[in-house]
Amino acid sequence: MSKTAKVFSTKKRKTYLRMLKSFVCAAILIIVVLTVLQLLGVNVSSMLAGVGIASIIIGFALQDALKDIFRGLEIVADDYYDIGDVIKYGDNMGQVTSINLRTTKMQDMNTMNIVSIANRNIDQVEIVSGYIYIPIPLPHSIKVEKAEEIMKEIVKGLSKQALLTSAAYQGVTDLTNSSINYQVVVTCDPMDKLQARRDSLRVILTTLEDYKISIPYTQLDVHTKA
């Protein structure tokens, strides 16, 4: 089994175990409550017989909780994400630390805070990939042939970075009034994405400094009346 397959298998195992633990705890709690009520003299059978009406009332009261439970089961069944995956929710991005019947917990990369996400909100969750796309603006005065030579040097420097697994030049992505934008793409472990981007930008800047190239600023023409 490959290293990637082993990591994937471990993540799936952790996810299923956490979900199973949550389900078992909920089932045990229900059984304990019913048993205690029976010991206290409550006619549990009669109570359960009237559960039809009660379930309607409870259903309205616990709509969000039920949505969380069903979406939690859907997360596992559809392999939406697993423990160890990196996800983004709103302004927070981090690694999934636990998944249970009602919530998903992630540790934010920037603050290291634990963020709790209701499972019913998984439609707002993005799975973070290991791709980083970096546009590099160069002055119009630099010919394309020379610019692509510089891009090759940048890619060479990026390939030596420990956190990066690959680096490639993709071509021209935009033409603006002040620059021609070239683009490189690098890949890394999603958990290293923030630091990998910082390392990549440093390599780009130092390479441009070696070629004595300044990143062009956006130009603004101002016209005044005499």
Check whether 69 has a pLDDT greater than 80: no
State the residue for tokens 């130092």.
Answer: 206
Check whether 223 has a pLDDT greater than 60: no
The whole-chain average pLDDT of the chain stands at 81
- The whole-number pLDDT of residue 83 equals 86
Check whether 59 has a pLDDT greater than 60: no
Of 28, 37, 125, 136, nearest in space to 81 by CA: 125
Check whether 7 has a pLDDT greater than 60: no
92 beta partners: 89
Report CA Rg, the chain: 27
- The whole-number pLDDT of residue 198 equals 96
Share of the chain above pLDDT 90, in %: 50
State the residue for tokens 């549990």.
Answer: 44
Of 102, 96, 71, 66, nearest in space to 81 by CA: 96
Return the structure tokens found at 78: 């559809």
Check whether 185 has a pLDDT greater than 80: yes
Of 89, 92, 85, 86, nearest in space to 119 by CA: 89
Of 24, 23, 36, 124, nearest in space to 73 by CA: 23
Return the structure tokens found at 130: 């290991």
Q: State which amino acid sits at residue 159.
A: S
**120-176 per-position pLDDT tens digit:** 898 999 999 999 999 999 999 999 999 999 999 999 999 999 999 999 999 999 999
Domains of the chain: 3-127 (2.30.30.60), 131-210 (3.30.70.100)
169 beta partners: 184
Residue scoring higher pLDDT (75 or 87): 87
CB 44 within 8 A of CB 34: yes
Residue scoring higher pLDDT (63 or 157): 157
Residue scoring higher pLDDT (177 or 74): 177
* Cα–Cα distance, 85 to 74 (Å, whole number): 16
* Cα–Cα distance, 219 to 187 (Å, whole number): 33
pTM of the model: 0.67
